[in-house]
Amino acid sequence: MNRRTESQRIMNRTLRQRRGTTAIELALVIPVLFGLLFAAIDFARVQNIRDTASLAAYEGARQGILPGKSAATVREVAQENIDALGVLDAVITVTPSTITDQTPEITVSIDTPLSTNLYAYCSFFKNKTIHATCSLKRESELTGMSATGP
C-alpha cells in the first residue's frame, strides 16, 4: 500500500509540473497564433478591397459610356460599389470631368488608403494605397462602331 501511494505522489507531482509547463507554453504560443490569424484576416481584406475597387472602376466606366450620363453619375455608381464593402476614404477620379455624348473614352480611377481600411495591421500600411483604373471607349457612330457592328 505504501508503495502505491508513493507512486501516486510522484505521478501527481509530475502532473502538477506538467500543468505549469503547459500554461507557459500556451502563454508563448497564443500571441503568435493570434498574430497570424489577424494577418490572414487583413491580407484577405486587402484582396477584397482590391477586387472591389477594380469592380467599382469598371462599373463606373461602364455607366459613363452610356448616352446621357454625367461624371457625377459615374462617381455615384463607383461609390455605391465601394460602399458595399464598407471601404473608407476612397478617392474616385473620373476623366474627363465633363462627359458629353461626343466623349470617346471614360477613365475611372480609384485610390483606396489601406491605413483606414484594415483591422489589425493598419500602422504597417500607413502610406500604402490600392489603385484601380478602368478605361472604356464609347461605342457609337462617331468612333466608327455601332451596336450592330462596324
Mean pLDDT of 131-140: 88
Q: How far is CA 89 from CA 83, 111, 142, in A?
A: 10, 9, 37
Look at residue 8 in the predicted model and tell me its pLDDT.
74
Percent of the chain with pLDDT over 90: 53
DSSP, collapsed to helix, strand or coil, labels residue 144 as: coil
pTM of the model: 0.74
Residue ranges covered by each domain of the chain: 2-143
Q: 62: Cβ–Cβ under 8 A, 6 or more apart, which residues? A: 136
Q: Which of 5-9, 60-64, 98-102 has the lowest mean pLDDT?
A: 5-9
Q: 116: Cβ–Cβ under 8 A, 6 or more apart, which residues? A: 88, 89, 122
**pLDDT tens digits, one per residue of 28-78:** 999 999 999 998 999 999 999 999 999 999 999 999 998 888 999 999 999
Mean pLDDT of 133-139: 90
What is the crossing angle of helices 2-64 and 71-83, to 10°?
170
149: left (phi over 0), alpha (psi -120 to 50) or beta: left
Percent of the chain with pLDDT over 70: 84
Q: Which residue has the cell 483606396?
A: 112
Q: Which three cell numbers stand for residue 99?
A: 462627359
Tell whether the model's pLDDT for residue 7 goes beyond 90: no
Look at residue 146 in the predicted model and tell me its pLDDT.
46
